[in-house]
Amino acid sequence: MAKTIYFIGNWKMNGNYDSIKEIETVNNFLKKKSISKLKKIIFCPPSNLLMSFSKKINTKLLDYGAQDISKINLNNGPYTGQLSAKMIKESGANYVIVGHSEKRLLDEDCKTIKKKISIAIENKLKVIFCIGENLFQKKKNLSFKILKKQILNSIDKKINFDNLIIAYEPIWSIGTGIVPSNNYLDQIYTKLKKFLREKYKVNSPILIYGGSVTPDNVVTLGENSLISGFLIGGASLKSKSFIEIIKNYFR
């Protein structure tokens, strides 16, 4: 059975109101080109842009996600600087990124991540859950041990995996231009799938890859049948490179 391929643009701390032009270009491309229907396009701009973008371009061809939500499970209250899951949902997002390594470095531990995942799903937000090891851990052959620990400490056994996308993002690959070999990725994803099947009783988890994804390397990355899409950073900021990634994957 054919599976949906995800192309998720994580804009991080980039973009302004004029950046809507990049999404408009992608939307026009999706209207005109007959690329596989089995794809899901999601943009995750900074939260201040979410509502204006989702209102201006409200289409079934693409969707929106947030880069974070508050760990406080309240709709509102005296919490300066916090954005509740309900606020994010009302801004037009249907997804949220949780557990990104850049957030882990700042203020997210597994306990916080577990809270956010639960809160997101309770508020009808699907979760893009990021896991990944650093270079030291990789060199010590601890990669899968770290990934397993991150999953076990963040995901409740009763979770509905229909609401979860797991993004493997090796920290040593993000923004470095270094992409793991297909042989390495095949080992990681095979172990992840086996572990999720045995521990969580899920046969077809959505597993995607993130880390220096470009129009050139997406062809090779796409050869791995266990990968169901990509979390794309810098290359998602410009419509040209984002479109090329989609086109090159399906060519």
Q: Is 169 a catalytic residue?
A: yes
Please tell me whether residue 7 adopts helix, strand or coil conformation: strand
How far is residue 191's CA from residue 144's CA, in Å, rounded to a whole number?
Answer: 8
- 211 closest CA partner among 137, 154, 130, 98: 130
Q: Is 100 a catalytic residue?
A: yes
Cβ-contact 44, 65 below 8 angstroms: yes
Q: Which of 22, 100, 102, 133 is catalytic?
A: 100
CB under 8 Å to 89, separation ≥6 — which residues?
123, 124, 125
- Ranges of beta strands (E only) in 92-139 are 95-98, 126-131
End-to-end CA gap in the chain: 19
Q: What is the CA radius of gyration of the chain?
A: 17
Identify the DSSP state of 18.
Answer: G
Cβ-contact 227, 166 below 8 angstroms: no
Q: Which of 108, 122, 169, 223 is catalytic?
A: 169
How far is residue 79's CA from residue 190's CA, in Å, rounded to a whole number?
Answer: 42
Cβ-contact 7, 248 below 8 angstroms: no
Token pair, residue 80, equals 């300066």
The catalytic site residues sit at 100, 169
